[in-house]
Amino acid sequence: MICAGIDAGSRSIKVVLFDTARAQIIASGLADQGVEQERLAAELFESLLQQAGLDRSRISSVVATGYGRNAIRFAGTTITEITCHARGVHWLAPDARSIIEIGGQDSKIISLEEGGRVRDFAMNDRCAAGTGRFLEMVAARLDMTWEKLAQLGRQSQAPALISNVCVVFAETEIIGLLADGKPLPDVVAGVQNAIATRVAALASRLASPPVYFTGGVALLPGMARALEEVLACPVRVAPRPQFTGALGAALCARAANPSPAGL
């Protein structure tokens, strides 16, 4: 039985096809998000089917997650990211007890019981300061990619202190630091620390080791280390961090096995 999970995030759409018989991911893909979310999701879904040599009829159920999940009408059901990331990370790392997910527009902390059930969670979905959006703003301001930004951060000798909790004022602060001659790597490292600090404030009562870090921001060098420093415990990057939500959705599809509404 093949199940599909679609994570319609704010910045990108991720799809995972999961073979329940062999308990393995058989295809995964990512595309930029846009206005026509359902069409973009369907296109990505179709391309993965082709890639895997599958027909639509082989897909027994589809679950959508992410902020845009309700727009994916061909999904049989929708489930929130909290449940899906928990499922996905637990499948990849059964020892996980806490999950930190930093996405483009929000960040989440999920506390798991043994067995992977969600015990509690917290979300920052009001303030950009603890999200990938902050990094995007800095990257745009410095006219470089995220990845280049993160590479620079690794060169830091003395991370700058970014005191503002608001991204708008933090931008002013960063400009001021650069104008004062603060080395760029130190400023970038300071931004990463600021994000980690915001997330840690959310995580304080929920995070207990082993802590796994997932979401697109987890791919950036230095972010996991920044989180480790503020949480004072090891933080492991989940395998395939961009896809844990979509994987979890596919696993939920396996459990729910609803029929797709039709493409």
Partner 1 sequence: MDVFLASPWIPAEWIRAHGLQPRGLWSAEDFQPGAWPLSAGLCAFADAAVRFAEARTDSAVVFSTACDQMRRGFDAAILEGQRRAFLFNLPATWQTPAGTQIFRSELERLGQFLLAIGGSAPSPEVLRREMSQAGGARQRLLESASATSPRGFAQAVAQFHWDGAFSPPPPAPPANQIPIALVGGPFLAPHWEWLDELEAAGARVALNATEMGERSLPPDFEFDPAAIHPFDALVRGCCDNIVDVFQRPNTRLYSWLKPRLASRNVRGIVLWHFIGCDLWRVEAPTLRETFALPVLLLEAGGEPGAAPRQLDRLQAFVETLR
Partner 2 sequence: MNSPPRKLDLDQWDGRYEQLRRDGLREPAYGGPLRRHVVREKDFRLQQLRFDNSPAALRLWNFLLTENQRLHQARAEGDKIVGTMKDLGTVPVMAYALPGLRAFYPDGAWWTPCLMECGDKLLQKAEMMGIDASFCPVRAMLPAFQEGGHFPRPDLLVCSAGAICDDFSAIAQRLEHLGHPILWWETPRRRQPASGERACALPGHLAAPQVQVDCVRAELQRIARALGELAGQTLDDSFLAAGICAANQVRQRLDSLRRAVYCAPAAPLPALEMLVAEMLAIHFCSDRQETIAVLDALLAEVQSRAHRSQFIIGPDAARIFWVNPVADLRAMNLLEDLGGRLCGSDFMFSHALDLIPENLPPLDALARAALADPMVGPTEDRAARIVRECRSNRAEALVVSRIPGASHCAREGEIILQIVRREIGIPAIELEIPPVCDALSPSLGSRLRALVETAQARRPK
Binding footprint of partner 2 on the chain (CB under 8 A): 161-165, 169-170, 172-173, 176, 197, 200-201, 204-205
173 binds, among partner 2, partner 1, none (CB under 5 to 8 A by kind): partner 2
Residue pair 109/196 in contact (Cβ under 8 Å)? The answer is no
What is the closest distance, in whole angstroms, from the C-beta atom of residue 190 to partner 2 in the complex? Answer: 11
162 binds, among partner 2, partner 1, none (CB under 5 to 8 A by kind): partner 2
120 binds, among partner 1, partner 2, none (CB under 5 to 8 A by kind): partner 1
Query: What ranges in the chain are assigned the alpha helix state H?
Result: 37-52, 81-92, 132-142, 146-153, 167-179, 184-203, 223-231, 244-256
* Cα distance between residue 133 and residue 10, in whole Å: 10
* Cα distance between residue 172 and residue 180, in whole Å: 12
Q: Which CB, 201 or 219, lies closer to partner 2? A: 201
Neighbouring C-beta atoms of residue 84, cutoff 10 Å: 29
What is the closest distance, in whole angstroms, from the C-beta atom of residue 78 to partner 1 in the complex? Answer: 9
Q: How far is CA 194 from the centre of its chain?
A: 18
Helix (H, G, I), strand (E, B) or coil at 24: strand
Q: Which CB, 50 or 204, lies closer to partner 2? A: 204
What is the closest distance, in whole angstroms, from the C-beta atom of residue 100 to partner 1 in the complex? Answer: 15
What is the closest distance, in whole angstroms, from the C-beta atom of residue 168 to partner 1 in the complex? Answer: 13
Interface residues toward partner 1, by CB under 8 A: 67, 79-83, 106, 118-121, 123, 125-126, 205
